[in-house]
Structure 1
């Protein structure tokens, strides 16, 4: 992970490019509920006035009659709206609450220590072999594996101690033998559109030939060979997300199988998701599925699956600092690769820091190799009010604005059959709606293969 200045301070090469056009930047905003204040008079003074100025009494009586006619109607309308929007069914609510508490008991494990983050998160230090992954029948009673060798050609400069998450900036850390886990709260689950599918992406949302399901992409991808991993550096932004049920993310996908029910994916990157996290911070995340997002897989550590080995990184925690328009550019490095010995897929984040692994038994096609690797951005377009969403992708600016303004992926590489990192040879790019979010790529000696991507969403050319 690096903090980059202007073009003169570019450093660290890797692979790929794409970009063009101009967009509009908007800062992240929070919605606030406003309540109208009703001014109340001094009743004792009013009574005194009535006594002293009797001719005014008829006027007051008239006003009181009018208000008595108007106020009940307004109150009735408001209560009817509340009743329509919040129909209270005690049995259903009780069942929902029981389901939420049952899920929370599975997700949240006993903590040796708890650290409160400045953004309001609680980070629980959980004994590593008691983390959610070990609820899986094939992992019960086992302990995390030791890390494998990195791919050949990996420039590991030594593990650098970095504070890139808000919760760790206090200087507190988890004890040895534990891992930091972002605590899931009742509020997190109540925000979810479906409690039963909490922590999962919508079913069968993955399409690359259409965005009719509401998901839009600007991605670079390679296919047609056997891939055993991928690496990239991504700059981190805090894009504006228009409403609670949309998100904006930038990630790598390691994919195998068809885009039908047998799709296997491993995913990692950063995302802004008000529904999942309750705020607009960009957060480091992981995901996996072995059946096209139907019944398997989840974000982060919200189900048994990913095994975390790192004691300093909390998956799902906010990333800080972030890039700024025409200012400093802050990026993170991600590496996913398949351990040739055990077949597990490992994740490295930052400067040589191993996060953990996805056991090979979680998958069908990915037990062997990937058939496609993708890099890029994705948003949900729910078309509020019948128009394209104003949710931003990346920086919120189109690719043509270039460095310091548009989002980028740089130093794109894949891992080959020999466990070696190699440059991409046949990168293709795709933007579902180029007038809303676009992508442009290239190659040079400093960044290798790279691309710029992103956009503002709704604009004059994207109605």
Structure 2
């Protein structure tokens, strides 16, 4: 009799724990990480032309002065800067059109192309900067970070992959960013790279920002002023790298000039900028630069997610098989790109059994390999 009661209690406890896991996963999916933006079924305000891309995305050519970021009170009477003072020559640059939407038309002068949310694209609503040895939440990183000086920008080359993102509310990115110092939940960040969300086989160019750990902005929703009429934030990038085959990579740089905002350059095109009127903590320089990958683990059924990072393979597999960010340089006070010293970077890896990182000097340049498959025999929780 006692054994029967213990067995029933054990079964009930197991059922209760499993139920909590399912409810928890549902809450994470619905609230913690992502929320669905309202579907935009009509053209954006200020649209003068609409283009449908080969992949089915709807792109509105919007009057440059009617883009959403300019609704911010901090930018009242803001005069848009159309170009940075100059664009330094990249160390390595492969010319190429990584976005194909312009095959179906171009945006007119004086407009910027903004992707319309007709398919329920996700909006990232939570971002947390990791502190060494103190990772909160369910975000997982494999990155390097340097807090060793005053940084006026950086540049790097990222290869393109399409990792599998399994569960609703999760994502996977390869990204480069600047961040402020202080407690992680108070940090400000400016981020760029590529990201993959559930249910897609596309890797999309994105920018992202957080302000003092509070307001977060994805792409052109807020925080970022676009000036390019050729690049669409949120649009897919092609072609992708081939495992054990040809690698496809893109060039990204951040630059801060005197009395100027933080500029983003993709390939050789000035995409736009983050205004210092909003991000006053970066008015002069950035104290920290970061490079690496990130995923969100919703812990489905209380196990580790199968969402991949990078190529889905560990960095030990090396060139042609693993995701990389290479040719990392920093922009100094004289506005010259300089080689970074690998010894100034600290690796930050949440769960090496799930996603790992290798970095160092290769041909006199700082590079990293990172990524992994997620759930496996050695990565269960």
Structure 1 segments unaligned to the other structure (5+ residues): 1-84, 86-98, 193-198
Q: Cα distance 1:376–1:129, how it changes in 2: closer, same or farther (>3 A)? A: same
Once residues 176 and 237 of structure 1 are traced to their aligned partners in structure 2, the CA distance between those partners, rounded to angstroms, is 32
Which residue, out of 149, 173, 187, partners 2:85? Answer: 149
Which residue, out of 177, 188, 196, partners 2:120? Answer: 188
Once residues 220 and 317 of structure 1 are traced to their aligned partners in structure 2, the CA distance between those partners, rounded to angstroms, is 27
Counterparts of residues 327-338 of structure 1 (less than 5 Å):
327-338=245-256
Confirm or deny: 8 A CA contact 1:210 1:432 kept in the other structure. Answer: no
Deviation of 1:428 (Å): 2.4
Deviation of 1:156 (Å): 7.6
Which residue, out of 408, 420, 445, partners 2:324? Answer: 408
Structure 2 segments unaligned to the other structure (5+ residues): 1-22, 24-35
Which residue, out of 148, 155, 161, partners 1:224? Answer: 148
Partner of 2:4: none
Once residues 60 and 70 of structure 2 are traced to their aligned partners in structure 1, the CA distance between those partners, rounded to angstroms, is 17
Deviation of 1:166 (Å): 3.7
- CA RMSD after TM alignment: 2.6
Partner of 2:162: 238
Once residues 343 and 105 of structure 1 are traced to their aligned partners in structure 2, the CA distance between those partners, rounded to angstroms, is 36
1:364-394 superposed Cα distances (whole Å, 9 cap, x missing partner): 3212221111100000111112211110000
| TM-score between both structures, scaled by the size of structure 1 | 0.69
Partner of 1:376: 292
**Which has a greater percent of strand?**
2
Once residues 241 and 85 of structure 2 are traced to their aligned partners in structure 1, the CA distance between those partners, rounded to angstroms, is 32
Once residues 431 and 139 of structure 1 are traced to their aligned partners in structure 2, the CA distance between those partners, rounded to angstroms, is 38
Confirm or deny: 8 A CA contact 2:74 2:278 kept in the other structure. Answer: no
Partner secondary structure for residue 413 of structure 1: strand
Q: Cα distance 1:448–1:157, how it changes in 2: closer, same or farther (>3 A)? A: closer
Once residues 362 and 171 of structure 2 are traced to their aligned partners in structure 1, the CA distance between those partners, rounded to angstroms, is 32
Once residues 220 and 42 of structure 2 are traced to their aligned partners in structure 1, the CA distance between those partners, rounded to angstroms, is 11
Counterparts of residues 86-101 of structure 1 (less than 5 Å):
none
Counterparts of residues 41-120 of structure 1 (less than 5 Å):
108-120=44-56
| TM-score between both structures, scaled by the size of structure 2 | 0.83
Q: Cα distance 1:297–1:150, how it changes in 2: closer, same or farther (>3 A)? A: farther
Partner secondary structure for residue 218 of structure 2: coil
Q: Number of aligned pairs?
A: 344
Once residues 267 and 297 of structure 1 are traced to their aligned partners in structure 2, the CA distance between those partners, rounded to angstroms, is 11
**Which has a greater percent of helix?**
1
| 1:163 matched to 2:97 | yes
Once residues 355 and 107 of structure 1 are traced to their aligned partners in structure 2, the CA distance between those partners, rounded to angstroms, is 22
Counterparts of residues 8-407 of structure 1 (less than 5 Å):
108-150=44-86, 154-155=89-90, 162-168=96-102, 170-185=103-118, 188=120, 199-202=123-126, 204=128, 206-274=130-198, 279-292=200-213, 294=214, 296-303=215-222, 305-340=223-258, 342-350=259-267, 352-407=268-323
